[in-house]
Chain A
Amino acid sequence: MIYVPAFLVLIPVVTGILILMFRNERMYLLAFLAQTLITVLAVSYFFVFRDDFASGAFVLGGWPEHIGITLANDRLSMSFIFLTILLWWVVLFYKYEPRKTDHSFLFFFLFLQGVFFGLLQTNDLFNLFVFIELTTIVATVLVGFKKTGSSLRAAIYYLLINTSGILMFLIGVLLLYNVFGTINLLHIRDNMEAMDSERLVQLAYILMMAGISIKAAIFPVYTWLPKAHGAAQSAVSALLSGLIVKSGVYLFIRMNQMFAALSLDYVDFFFIIGALTAIVGVVFALSQKDIKQILAYHTVSQVGIVFMGLAQVDAMTAHGGLLHAFHHGMFKSLLFLCAGVIIKVYRTKNVSEIRGVMKTMPFVSAMMIIGMLSITGAPLFNGYISKSIIKYGIEANPFQYAALFAVNIGTAASFIKASQIFFGEKPLSYAVKKRPPYVALAILSILCLVFGVFFAPLSDFFFTVDISHVSILSARGILEYALYLIAGYLIFRLIIKKDGSLIQRLRGFRPSFETANYVFVLYMAAMALHFIVL
């Protein structure tokens, strides 16, 4: 049982290699088998070490703990592991086509799962760097997998900007090693108070946060995300938006745990950054016409909401931010997978050309409506729960509350715009032959509902945090949701539908690569100004 953390990393990678070696018809079964094995191992590991995760840590190679690489878990990483397993099951079902197995896709797909498990479990900062870089490389290959021009240019943009960010993270690791003489995350956390050179540690914090910000795609450095997630194939977009972006959120929590004793004032800074991310993401999403671009910009804005929750002193609000990251993983993958089915049938991504989905594909449109209700925060769906916890936490401050309110209205407006595709006549001249992937979509939409209704016992089970104070059918919640919808509809009718010159200019706004890097340097300078000088 103690070897489970290592097996979680190894099983997907080895299975991927086997699939690539024996390019066989039945290899899909092997992928299902490996996935079942991982699920069983992870669940049993959780139940065995539920009360004492420290005893479940595994030191690779039998070295002493301060030298060797430790794979350890806690409730945070275990929850992320469960979300990973869930999303990989879903995409495995989504891509399942008998007699048409794409072996090299399966290899990269399973490999990404393995290295992501490594990223979640490792306790060694350099090993963390290796796993982050590996996820970047594998995700790059998956983004460019279609080999179209737009996906390739998105892939290289993604690879280069993430690599330069992660090298900044590596400099931070170097500074920490220089100060503490170890790169074990837990040892550094325990010795944080005893360090003597505060300036170097602060510099390390800034550099590491800069790298993590690029991974999480928050405000000034988010430009790679809409390109990559809009250009990749839908199954990959679902994984990237649902989970790989969350590696930034996960590392943000981990690093702030590690630097907790440094007592840096990160709350104000990252709240402002989060609010800007959310607003900018929504504004760009409103201007887009490509359905995948709309969804990708909404990932930016939802990550902004997550950061608005995480950057709070109050532990309950921070938990709301974390929960929103999980809920976002479910509904955003659902939306991307539904969009993928629709795009495949209609052969266009433009929302103003797709019409009558409700008649051609009733099942898919029902699932997509569930996803839309979740992302806009309708009561009974999971988005409502996490957004409510964040809302309770920040409503004392009118500016913060106004920012969240504006983002919610923008999200509603944007999805009212996207929901045009359901109505209208049926312009398809050909019949829809292919069956939609029922299982994959049904799993995700049922989970959206389950996490929206039975949120209290689930949160207690996974995080041991009691959130039963959120009431699903309060008059205030329903009234506010109605307000979002009405305001969103007005914005859609009065501003978006006219498609004025400002909106067209926003839609055509494509920052170049050197501008993105320039902004990245400025972002680091702003952090240095905030954390060191002021």
Chain B
Amino acid sequence: MNPVLTFIVVLIGLYGLATSKNIIKSVFCVTIIESGVILLFLNFANYEGGAIPIVSEDVAAIVDPLPHALMITTIVIGSAVTALALIICIKVFHHYGSTEWAQILRREDVK
């Protein structure tokens, strides 16, 4: 895959963040950016004909394992962020009856 194509995935996510008016969609857009970043990392590590970075007989052919290790961590962190964001979404929906940014941000503080 071409690094330019994966960078376009990141840009799609940024475009979505700058236009979507709903919390859930914003959460998805952050996830899309993250997927783009992960693909970008793996792209830079990969080369034509490289083997997966698991130690076997053909050690010389394997690609750089470091980006793979880093991206596992990123995926774990990303899932934590998504889970937390979605839980807060549910709570916000219980309080305001809506998940539209414009509607929840416009409300005055109740107190």
Q: Which residues of A contact B (CB under 8 A)?
A: 126, 129-130, 133-134, 137, 140-141, 144, 147-150, 152-153, 155-157, 159-160, 163-164, 167, 170-171, 174, 177-178, 231, 290, 348-349, 510, 512-514, 517-518, 520-521
B105 beta carbon closer than 8 Å to chain A = yes
Subset of 27 A-B contacts with CB under 8 Å? A126-B70, A129-B74, A137-B81, A147-B91, A149-B92, A152-B92, A152-B95, A153-B92, A153-B96, A153-B105, A159-B88, A160-B27, A164-B13, A164-B14, A164-B29, A170-B37, A171-B37, A177-B44, A349-B111, A510-B105, A512-B102, A513-B105, A514-B21, A517-B18, A518-B18, A518-B19, A521-B18
Distance (Å) between the CB of A225 and the closest chain B CB?
15
Distance between Cα atoms of A174 and B10 in the complex (Å): 14
Contact of A171 with B19 in the complex, beta carbons under 8 Å: no
Give me the 3 closest cross-chain CB pairs, A-B, nearest first. Answer: A149-B95, A517-B17, A518-B18
Cβ–Cβ < 8 Å partners of B37 in chain A: 167, 170-171, 174
Distance between Cα atoms of A13 and B104 in the complex (Å): 34
B110 beta carbon closer than 8 Å to chain A = yes
Question: Given that A156-B23, A156-B89, A167-B30 are contacting pairs, would A149 and B77 also be in contact in the complex, using a CB cutoff of 8 Å?
Answer: no
Cβ–Cβ < 8 Å partners of B104 in chain A: 149, 153
Distance (Å) between the CB of B55 and the closest chain A CB?
16
B109 beta carbon closer than 8 Å to chain A = yes
Contact of A159 with B85 in the complex, beta carbons under 8 Å: yes
Interface of B is mostly: helix
Of the candidates B84, B91, B96, B101, the one whose C-beta lies within 8 Å of that of A513 is: B101
Cβ–Cβ < 8 Å partners of A155 in chain B: 88
Contact of A164 with B30 in the complex, beta carbons under 8 Å: yes
B20 beta carbon closer than 8 Å to chain A = yes
Contact of A171 with B30 in the complex, beta carbons under 8 Å: no
Contact of B106 with A510 in the complex, beta carbons under 8 Å: yes
Nearest chain B residue, comparing its CB with the CB of A125: B70
Contact of B21 with A144 in the complex, beta carbons under 8 Å: no
Cβ–Cβ < 8 Å partners of B109 in chain A: 150, 231, 290
Distance (Å) between the CB of B106 and the closest chain A CB?
7
Distance (Å) between the CB of A292 and the closest chain B CB?
10
Using a CB-CB cutoff of 8 Å, which residues 1-21 of chain B contact chain A? 10, 13-14, 17-21
Contact of B33 with A167 in the complex, beta carbons under 8 Å: yes
Distance (Å) between the CB of B80 and the closest chain A CB?
6
Contact of A140 with B84 in the complex, beta carbons under 8 Å: yes
Cβ–Cβ < 8 Å partners of A178 in chain B: 44
Contact of A144 with B88 in the complex, beta carbons under 8 Å: yes
Distance (Å) between the CB of A73 and the closest chain B CB?
24
Of the candidates B18, B40, B81, B105, the one whose C-beta lies within 8 Å of that of A159 is: B81
Contact of A163 with B20 in the complex, beta carbons under 8 Å: no
Cβ–Cβ < 8 Å partners of A130 in chain B: 73, 77
- Known: A152-B91, A153-B104, A160-B85; 8 extra A-B contacts, CB below 8 A, are A130-B77, A137-B84, A144-B91, A152-B88, A174-B40, A290-B109, A513-B101, A521-B18
Contact of B67 with A521 in the complex, beta carbons under 8 Å: no
Cβ–Cβ < 8 Å partners of B13 in chain A: 164
Question: Given that A160-B26, A171-B40, A521-B14 are contacting pairs, would A149 and B101 also be in contact in the complex, using a CB cutoff of 8 Å?
Answer: no
Cβ–Cβ < 8 Å partners of A170 in chain B: 37, 74
Distance between Cα atoms of A517 and B102 in the complex (Å): 14
Contact of A177 with B67 in the complex, beta carbons under 8 Å: yes
Nearest chain B residue, comparing its CB with the CB of A227: B105
Cβ–Cβ < 8 Å partners of A133 in chain B: 77, 81
Cβ–Cβ < 8 Å partners of B40 in chain A: 171, 174
Cβ–Cβ < 8 Å partners of A513 in chain B: 23, 26, 101, 105
Question: Given that A171-B40, A174-B40, A512-B101 are contacting pairs, would A164 and B33 also be in contact in the complex, using a CB cutoff of 8 Å?
Answer: yes
Contact of B10 with A514 in the complex, beta carbons under 8 Å: no
Cβ–Cβ < 8 Å partners of A510 in chain B: 105-106
Cβ–Cβ < 8 Å partners of B88 in chain A: 140, 144, 152, 155-156, 159
Distance between Cα atoms of A63 and B95 in the complex (Å): 50
Distance (Å) between the CB of A309 and the closest chain B CB?
32
Distance between Cα atoms of A171 and B84 in the complex (Å): 23
Distance between Cα atoms of A144 and B96 in the complex (Å): 15
Cβ–Cβ < 8 Å partners of A514 in chain B: 17-21, 26, 101
Distance (Å) between the CB of A86 and the closest chain B CB?
29
Contact of A163 with B18 in the complex, beta carbons under 8 Å: no
Cβ–Cβ < 8 Å partners of A153 in chain B: 92, 95-96, 104-105
Cβ–Cβ < 8 Å partners of A520 in chain B: 18
Contact of B80 with A137 in the complex, beta carbons under 8 Å: yes
Most buried by B among A140, A148, A159, A160: A160
Distance between Cα atoms of A521 and B81 in the complex (Å): 21
Distance between Cα atoms of A152 and B80 in the complex (Å): 17
Contact of A149 with B20 in the complex, beta carbons under 8 Å: no
